[in-house]
Amino acid sequence: MSKLCTAGILGASGFIGSRLVEWLILNNLAEVRPIVRSWKGMARLSRFNLETWIADAVNESALEKALSGCDVLFNCIAGDRDVILKSTTAAYRAAAKAGVRRIVYLSSAVVHGFNPPVGTQDDSPIILNQPFKYNVSKAMAERLLRRLRVDGAVEVVTLRPSIVFGPRSVGWTTNIALDLLTKNAYLIDGGSGICNTVYIDNLIEAMWLAAMSDRSPNRDFLIGDGERITWADLYDAVAKAVGVEFSAVPSIASEDVSRIFAEQRQAQRRAALGRFVWAVRESLPFKAKASLIRLLPPNLKNTLKQVSVPFSKNKGSAMLGNEKRSFPELDLEIASLQQCHYVLPITKAKELIGYVPRVSFSEGCRRTTEWLRFAFGYKQQ
Protein backbone atom coordinates (compact mmCIF):
# COMPACT_ATOMS: atom_id res chain seq x y z
CA MET A 1 0.00 0.00 0.00
CA SER A 2 1.50 3.32 -1.09
CA LYS A 3 2.22 5.94 1.52
CA LEU A 4 -0.18 8.86 1.65
CA CYS A 5 1.29 12.25 0.89
CA THR A 6 1.66 14.69 3.78
CA ALA A 7 -0.30 17.88 3.33
CA GLY A 8 0.40 20.99 5.37
CA ILE A 9 -2.58 23.31 5.64
CA LEU A 10 -1.86 26.92 6.49
CA GLY A 11 -5.00 28.63 7.76
CA ALA A 12 -6.54 25.34 8.87
CA SER A 13 -8.85 27.05 11.37
CA GLY A 14 -10.71 29.05 8.73
CA PHE A 15 -13.83 28.20 6.75
CA ILE A 16 -12.02 26.75 3.72
CA GLY A 17 -8.99 25.38 5.54
CA SER A 18 -11.01 23.48 8.14
CA ARG A 19 -13.24 21.91 5.48
CA LEU A 20 -10.13 20.89 3.54
CA VAL A 21 -8.80 19.12 6.64
CA GLU A 22 -12.09 17.24 7.09
CA TRP A 23 -12.40 16.33 3.41
CA LEU A 24 -8.87 14.94 3.11
CA ILE A 25 -9.21 12.89 6.28
CA LEU A 26 -12.69 11.55 5.58
CA ASN A 27 -11.66 10.53 2.06
CA ASN A 28 -8.35 9.04 3.33
CA LEU A 29 -6.35 11.03 0.80
CA ALA A 30 -3.49 12.49 2.82
CA GLU A 31 -1.71 12.68 6.13
CA VAL A 32 -2.95 16.10 7.23
CA ARG A 33 -0.88 18.58 9.21
CA PRO A 34 -2.89 21.65 10.24
CA ILE A 35 -0.84 24.80 10.88
CA VAL A 36 -2.63 27.36 13.03
CA ARG A 37 -1.68 30.50 14.92
CA SER A 38 -2.97 29.28 18.31
CA TRP A 39 -4.44 26.16 19.87
CA LYS A 40 -7.93 27.62 19.98
CA GLY A 41 -7.91 27.46 16.19
CA MET A 42 -8.08 23.68 16.44
CA ALA A 43 -11.32 23.57 18.43
CA ARG A 44 -13.42 22.53 15.43
CA LEU A 45 -10.94 19.87 14.32
CA SER A 46 -10.08 18.49 17.76
CA ARG A 47 -12.12 15.33 17.07
CA PHE A 48 -9.35 14.19 14.72
CA ASN A 49 -6.06 12.78 15.97
CA LEU A 50 -3.80 15.21 14.12
CA GLU A 51 -0.23 16.37 14.29
CA THR A 52 -0.93 20.07 14.72
CA TRP A 53 1.67 22.81 14.51
CA ILE A 54 1.44 26.27 16.00
CA ALA A 55 3.11 28.85 13.77
CA ASP A 56 2.44 32.41 12.75
CA ALA A 57 1.89 32.62 9.00
CA VAL A 58 4.45 35.40 8.66
CA ASN A 59 7.17 33.63 10.67
CA GLU A 60 9.41 31.91 8.12
CA SER A 61 11.50 29.89 10.59
CA ALA A 62 8.43 28.62 12.45
CA LEU A 63 6.79 27.65 9.17
CA GLU A 64 9.92 25.82 7.99
CA LYS A 65 9.79 23.59 11.07
CA ALA A 66 6.05 23.02 10.67
CA LEU A 67 6.48 22.03 7.01
CA SER A 68 9.32 19.58 7.51
CA GLY A 69 8.33 16.33 5.82
CA CYS A 70 5.35 17.82 3.94
CA ASP A 71 4.88 17.06 0.25
CA VAL A 72 2.36 19.80 -0.44
CA LEU A 73 1.28 23.02 1.23
CA PHE A 74 -2.21 24.46 0.93
CA ASN A 75 -2.02 28.19 1.67
CA CYS A 76 -5.49 29.28 2.81
CA ILE A 77 -4.43 32.36 4.78
CA ALA A 78 -6.84 35.29 4.96
CA GLY A 79 -6.26 38.72 6.45
CA ASP A 80 -5.34 42.28 5.63
CA ARG A 81 -2.79 43.31 3.00
CA ASP A 82 0.15 43.09 5.38
CA VAL A 83 -0.72 39.53 6.41
CA ILE A 84 -1.52 38.42 2.86
CA LEU A 85 1.79 39.64 1.42
CA LYS A 86 4.07 38.71 4.30
CA SER A 87 2.55 35.23 4.64
CA THR A 88 2.89 34.64 0.90
CA THR A 89 6.63 35.31 1.03
CA ALA A 90 7.20 33.47 4.32
CA ALA A 91 5.27 30.40 3.20
CA TYR A 92 7.11 30.09 -0.11
CA ARG A 93 10.56 30.49 1.39
CA ALA A 94 9.76 28.14 4.28
CA ALA A 95 8.36 25.54 1.86
CA ALA A 96 11.50 25.77 -0.28
CA LYS A 97 13.77 25.21 2.72
CA ALA A 98 11.60 22.35 4.02
CA GLY A 99 11.62 20.51 0.68
CA VAL A 100 7.90 20.91 -0.07
CA ARG A 101 7.14 19.86 -3.63
CA ARG A 102 4.14 22.08 -4.39
CA ILE A 103 2.14 24.99 -2.98
CA VAL A 104 -1.55 25.38 -3.78
CA TYR A 105 -2.24 29.05 -3.19
CA LEU A 106 -5.83 30.13 -2.62
CA SER A 107 -6.25 33.48 -4.36
CA SER A 108 -9.53 34.98 -5.57
CA ALA A 109 -11.31 35.79 -8.82
CA VAL A 110 -11.40 39.41 -7.67
CA VAL A 111 -7.90 39.82 -9.14
CA HIS A 112 -9.90 40.34 -12.36
CA GLY A 113 -12.22 42.87 -10.71
CA PHE A 114 -15.77 42.61 -9.42
CA ASN A 115 -17.21 42.93 -12.93
CA PRO A 116 -14.66 41.25 -15.22
CA PRO A 117 -14.77 42.23 -18.90
CA VAL A 118 -16.48 39.76 -21.20
CA GLY A 119 -13.87 37.31 -22.42
CA THR A 120 -11.88 37.25 -19.18
CA GLN A 121 -10.24 33.87 -18.63
CA ASP A 122 -7.58 32.29 -16.45
CA ASP A 123 -4.64 33.82 -18.30
CA SER A 124 -6.08 37.33 -18.60
CA PRO A 125 -3.93 40.01 -16.93
CA ILE A 126 -4.65 40.57 -13.26
CA ILE A 127 -5.79 44.09 -12.37
CA LEU A 128 -3.79 46.06 -9.82
CA ASN A 129 -5.62 49.34 -10.38
CA GLN A 130 -8.82 48.64 -8.42
CA PRO A 131 -10.69 50.73 -5.84
CA PHE A 132 -10.93 47.90 -3.30
CA LYS A 133 -8.01 47.07 -1.03
CA TYR A 134 -8.63 43.33 -0.75
CA ASN A 135 -8.77 42.90 -4.53
CA VAL A 136 -5.47 44.74 -4.96
CA SER A 137 -3.89 42.78 -2.10
CA LYS A 138 -4.72 39.47 -3.76
CA ALA A 139 -3.42 40.72 -7.12
CA MET A 140 -0.20 41.88 -5.45
CA ALA A 141 0.19 38.49 -3.76
CA GLU A 142 -0.15 36.69 -7.08
CA ARG A 143 2.44 38.95 -8.69
CA LEU A 144 4.74 38.33 -5.71
CA LEU A 145 4.33 34.55 -6.04
CA ARG A 146 5.22 34.70 -9.72
CA ARG A 147 8.49 36.41 -8.86
CA LEU A 148 9.24 33.95 -6.07
CA ARG A 149 8.57 30.82 -8.10
CA VAL A 150 11.09 31.81 -10.77
CA ASP A 151 13.80 30.08 -8.74
CA GLY A 152 12.02 26.75 -9.35
CA ALA A 153 12.41 25.67 -5.74
CA VAL A 154 8.69 24.96 -5.29
CA GLU A 155 5.91 24.40 -7.82
CA VAL A 156 3.02 26.82 -7.36
CA VAL A 157 -0.61 26.44 -8.39
CA THR A 158 -2.93 29.41 -7.94
CA LEU A 159 -6.68 28.91 -7.64
CA ARG A 160 -9.18 31.77 -8.03
CA PRO A 161 -12.61 31.03 -6.59
CA SER A 162 -15.18 33.81 -6.29
CA ILE A 163 -18.33 33.44 -4.16
CA VAL A 164 -17.63 30.43 -1.91
CA PHE A 165 -20.82 29.38 -0.15
CA GLY A 166 -22.03 26.45 1.88
CA PRO A 167 -22.21 25.22 5.49
CA ARG A 168 -20.13 27.37 7.88
CA SER A 169 -19.52 30.09 5.28
CA VAL A 170 -19.72 33.45 7.04
CA GLY A 171 -19.50 35.89 4.15
CA TRP A 172 -21.79 34.26 1.59
CA THR A 173 -24.13 32.22 3.78
CA THR A 174 -24.41 33.28 7.44
CA ASN A 175 -24.14 37.02 6.80
CA ILE A 176 -26.73 36.88 4.04
CA ALA A 177 -29.10 35.03 6.39
CA LEU A 178 -28.55 37.59 9.15
CA ASP A 179 -29.08 40.50 6.76
CA LEU A 180 -32.32 38.95 5.55
CA LEU A 181 -33.57 38.33 9.08
CA THR A 182 -32.70 41.88 10.24
CA LYS A 183 -34.05 43.52 7.05
CA ASN A 184 -30.59 44.76 6.09
CA ALA A 185 -30.40 42.80 2.86
CA TYR A 186 -30.73 44.42 -0.56
CA LEU A 187 -30.21 43.48 -4.19
CA ILE A 188 -28.85 45.58 -7.02
CA ASP A 189 -31.18 45.61 -10.04
CA GLY A 190 -33.32 42.95 -8.42
CA GLY A 191 -30.39 40.53 -8.13
CA SER A 192 -30.09 40.09 -11.90
CA GLY A 193 -26.27 40.28 -11.80
CA ILE A 194 -24.12 37.19 -12.19
CA CYS A 195 -23.06 35.49 -8.95
CA ASN A 196 -20.01 33.33 -9.71
CA THR A 197 -20.63 30.78 -6.98
CA VAL A 198 -18.53 27.79 -6.01
CA TYR A 199 -19.90 25.36 -3.45
CA ILE A 200 -17.31 24.70 -0.75
CA ASP A 201 -16.80 21.00 -1.56
CA ASN A 202 -16.33 21.76 -5.26
CA LEU A 203 -13.54 24.16 -4.33
CA ILE A 204 -11.96 21.64 -1.95
CA GLU A 205 -11.86 18.97 -4.66
CA ALA A 206 -10.30 21.48 -7.07
CA MET A 207 -7.60 22.20 -4.48
CA TRP A 208 -6.78 18.50 -4.21
CA LEU A 209 -6.71 18.05 -7.99
CA ALA A 210 -4.38 21.05 -8.26
CA ALA A 211 -2.07 19.46 -5.70
CA MET A 212 -1.90 16.11 -7.51
CA SER A 213 -2.10 16.92 -11.23
CA ASP A 214 1.02 16.75 -13.39
CA ARG A 215 -0.41 19.54 -15.57
CA SER A 216 -1.07 22.13 -12.88
CA PRO A 217 2.36 23.44 -11.77
CA ASN A 218 2.92 27.17 -12.16
CA ARG A 219 -0.54 27.74 -13.63
CA ASP A 220 -3.54 29.81 -12.55
CA PHE A 221 -7.10 28.48 -12.52
CA LEU A 222 -10.52 30.07 -12.16
CA ILE A 223 -12.75 27.80 -10.07
CA GLY A 224 -16.55 27.95 -10.00
CA ASP A 225 -19.70 25.87 -10.15
CA GLY A 226 -19.90 26.19 -13.93
CA GLU A 227 -23.52 27.38 -13.88
CA ARG A 228 -25.18 30.70 -14.67
CA ILE A 229 -26.29 31.77 -11.20
CA THR A 230 -27.68 35.20 -10.30
CA TRP A 231 -27.56 36.99 -6.96
CA ALA A 232 -31.33 36.58 -6.79
CA ASP A 233 -30.82 32.80 -6.98
CA LEU A 234 -28.44 32.82 -4.01
CA TYR A 235 -30.47 35.21 -1.85
CA ASP A 236 -33.72 33.40 -2.65
CA ALA A 237 -32.21 30.09 -1.52
CA VAL A 238 -30.98 31.56 1.77
CA ALA A 239 -34.27 33.41 2.30
CA LYS A 240 -36.21 30.16 1.98
CA ALA A 241 -33.85 28.48 4.44
CA VAL A 242 -34.48 31.04 7.18
CA GLY A 243 -38.16 31.69 6.43
CA VAL A 244 -37.89 35.17 4.93
CA GLU A 245 -40.10 36.34 2.09
CA PHE A 246 -37.69 36.94 -0.79
CA SER A 247 -40.02 39.41 -2.52
CA ALA A 248 -39.60 41.78 0.46
CA VAL A 249 -35.88 42.28 -0.22
CA PRO A 250 -35.49 45.84 -1.57
CA SER A 251 -33.99 46.43 -5.00
CA ILE A 252 -31.65 49.32 -5.76
CA ALA A 253 -30.97 50.43 -9.31
CA SER A 254 -27.29 50.20 -10.23
CA GLU A 255 -27.26 53.78 -11.50
CA ASP A 256 -28.31 55.00 -8.03
CA VAL A 257 -25.67 53.10 -6.03
CA SER A 258 -22.89 55.71 -6.09
CA ARG A 259 -25.21 58.57 -5.12
CA ILE A 260 -26.96 56.61 -2.35
CA PHE A 261 -23.63 55.45 -0.96
CA ALA A 262 -22.29 59.03 -0.94
CA GLU A 263 -25.42 60.31 0.82
CA GLN A 264 -25.22 57.55 3.42
CA ARG A 265 -21.54 58.26 4.06
CA GLN A 266 -22.36 61.94 4.58
CA ALA A 267 -25.14 61.00 7.00
CA GLN A 268 -22.76 58.67 8.87
CA ARG A 269 -20.23 61.48 9.29
CA ARG A 270 -22.97 63.75 10.61
CA ALA A 271 -24.04 61.01 12.98
CA ALA A 272 -20.48 60.55 14.25
CA LEU A 273 -20.23 64.28 14.88
CA GLY A 274 -23.60 64.15 16.62
CA ARG A 275 -22.42 61.40 18.96
CA PHE A 276 -19.32 63.45 19.75
CA VAL A 277 -21.43 66.52 20.53
CA TRP A 278 -23.73 64.44 22.74
CA ALA A 279 -20.72 62.99 24.61
CA VAL A 280 -19.31 66.48 25.19
CA ARG A 281 -22.66 67.77 26.44
CA GLU A 282 -22.96 64.87 28.87
CA SER A 283 -19.41 65.07 30.22
CA LEU A 284 -18.75 68.80 30.58
CA PRO A 285 -19.93 70.77 33.61
CA PHE A 286 -22.78 73.19 32.91
CA LYS A 287 -20.60 76.32 33.19
CA ALA A 288 -17.96 74.88 30.86
CA LYS A 289 -20.64 74.03 28.27
CA ALA A 290 -22.10 77.52 28.48
CA SER A 291 -18.67 79.09 28.04
CA LEU A 292 -17.87 76.84 25.10
CA ILE A 293 -21.15 77.62 23.34
CA ARG A 294 -20.57 81.36 23.70
CA LEU A 295 -17.20 81.03 21.97
CA LEU A 296 -18.56 79.19 18.93
CA PRO A 297 -19.38 81.15 15.75
CA PRO A 298 -23.13 81.22 14.83
CA ASN A 299 -22.77 78.98 11.75
CA LEU A 300 -21.06 76.23 13.77
CA LYS A 301 -23.73 76.46 16.48
CA ASN A 302 -26.44 75.85 13.86
CA THR A 303 -24.52 72.90 12.41
CA LEU A 304 -24.11 71.27 15.81
CA LYS A 305 -27.83 71.64 16.52
CA GLN A 306 -28.61 69.78 13.30
CA VAL A 307 -26.26 66.87 13.96
CA SER A 308 -26.87 66.35 17.65
CA VAL A 309 -29.43 63.58 17.08
CA PRO A 310 -27.65 60.23 16.50
CA PHE A 311 -28.17 58.70 13.05
CA SER A 312 -29.47 55.13 12.72
CA LYS A 313 -26.63 52.70 12.30
CA ASN A 314 -28.19 50.43 9.72
CA LYS A 315 -30.57 52.58 7.71
CA GLY A 316 -30.27 55.47 5.35
CA SER A 317 -32.41 57.28 2.84
CA ALA A 318 -31.99 58.91 -0.53
CA MET A 319 -34.05 60.81 -3.05
CA LEU A 320 -35.14 58.77 -6.04
CA GLY A 321 -36.87 61.19 -8.33
CA ASN A 322 -39.33 63.09 -6.14
CA GLU A 323 -39.59 60.25 -3.61
CA LYS A 324 -37.48 59.80 -0.49
CA ARG A 325 -36.90 56.09 0.14
CA SER A 326 -35.16 54.23 2.94
CA PHE A 327 -32.55 51.56 2.24
CA PRO A 328 -30.32 49.32 4.32
CA GLU A 329 -26.83 50.69 4.74
CA LEU A 330 -24.91 49.93 1.53
CA ASP A 331 -21.65 48.04 1.42
CA LEU A 332 -19.97 49.30 -1.75
CA GLU A 333 -18.01 46.09 -2.29
CA ILE A 334 -21.14 43.92 -2.12
CA ALA A 335 -23.05 46.37 -4.32
CA SER A 336 -20.20 46.27 -6.86
CA LEU A 337 -20.05 42.46 -6.82
CA GLN A 338 -23.76 42.32 -7.55
CA GLN A 339 -23.21 44.30 -10.75
CA CYS A 340 -21.18 41.53 -12.39
CA HIS A 341 -22.44 40.53 -15.85
CA TYR A 342 -20.02 37.77 -16.83
CA VAL A 343 -19.89 34.07 -15.99
CA LEU A 344 -16.26 33.22 -15.36
CA PRO A 345 -15.16 30.14 -17.34
CA ILE A 346 -13.73 26.98 -15.78
CA THR A 347 -12.62 25.40 -19.06
CA LYS A 348 -8.91 25.43 -18.21
CA ALA A 349 -9.45 23.68 -14.87
CA LYS A 350 -11.59 21.03 -16.59
CA GLU A 351 -9.03 20.38 -19.31
CA LEU A 352 -5.80 20.44 -17.30
CA ILE A 353 -6.65 19.11 -13.84
CA GLY A 354 -9.88 17.22 -14.53
CA TYR A 355 -12.04 19.52 -12.43
CA VAL A 356 -15.75 18.72 -12.63
CA PRO A 357 -18.11 20.44 -10.15
CA ARG A 358 -19.74 17.40 -8.58
CA VAL A 359 -22.18 19.35 -6.41
CA SER A 360 -24.71 21.35 -8.41
CA PHE A 361 -25.85 24.75 -7.24
CA SER A 362 -29.28 23.37 -6.31
CA GLU A 363 -27.76 20.51 -4.32
CA GLY A 364 -25.35 22.92 -2.65
CA CYS A 365 -28.31 25.07 -1.63
CA ARG A 366 -30.10 22.02 -0.23
CA ARG A 367 -27.11 21.12 1.93
CA THR A 368 -26.65 24.73 2.97
CA THR A 369 -30.33 24.99 3.92
CA GLU A 370 -30.03 21.97 6.21
CA TRP A 371 -27.01 23.50 7.94
CA LEU A 372 -28.59 26.95 8.26
CA ARG A 373 -31.74 25.54 9.81
CA PHE A 374 -29.60 23.60 12.29
CA ALA A 375 -27.32 26.58 13.04
CA PHE A 376 -30.23 28.99 13.54
CA GLY A 377 -32.22 26.54 15.67
CA TYR A 378 -35.12 25.88 13.29
CA LYS A 379 -37.01 22.61 13.42
CA GLN A 380 -36.00 20.31 10.60
CA GLN A 381 -38.70 19.79 8.02
127 and 72 together in one domain: yes
Handedness of CA 196, 197, 203, 205 (dihedral sign): negative
Q: pLDDT digit string (tens) for 142-187?
A: 999 999 999 999 999 999 999 999 999 999 999 999 999 999 999 9
Residue 66 lies in a domain: yes
CA distance 367 to 166: 7
Residue 182 lies in a domain: no
Average pLDDT over residues 369-379: 93
279 and 136 together in one domain: no
Q: Angle CA(32)–CA(162)–CA(87) in degrees, nearest 5?
A: 50
Q: How many domains, in total, are found in the chain?
A: 2
141 and 211 together in one domain: yes
CA distance 364 to 358: 10
277 and 142 together in one domain: no
pLDDT value at residue 264: 79
Residue 267 lies in a domain: yes
User: Comparing C-alpha atoms, which of 71, 59, 61, 74 is closest to residue 100?
Assistant: 71
Least confident of 291-300, 318-327, 372-381: 318-327
Q: pLDDT digit string (tens) for 316-347?
A: 555 555 555 667 889 999 999 999 999 999 99
Count other C-beta atoms under 10 Å from residue 381's C-beta: 6
CA distance 127 to 119: 15
* Residue-number span of the structural domain to which 277 is assigned: 262-331
Q: What is the mean pLDDT of the chain?
A: 90
164 and 268 together in one domain: no
282 and 361 together in one domain: no
Residue 159 lies in a domain: yes
Residue 245 lies in a domain: no
Is residue 91 within 8 Å of 57, Cβ to Cβ? yes
Residue 247 lies in a domain: no
60 and 124 together in one domain: yes
pTM: 0.87
212 and 273 together in one domain: no
214 and 326 together in one domain: no
CA distance 94 to 63: 6
24 and 161 together in one domain: yes
pLDDT value at residue 289: 59
- Cβ neighbors of 49 (< 8 A, separation 6 or more) are none
- The CATH number of the domain holding residue 40 is 3.40.50.720
Residue 254 lies in a domain: no
Identify the band that residue 310 occupies on the pLDDT scale cut at 50, 70 and 90.
very low
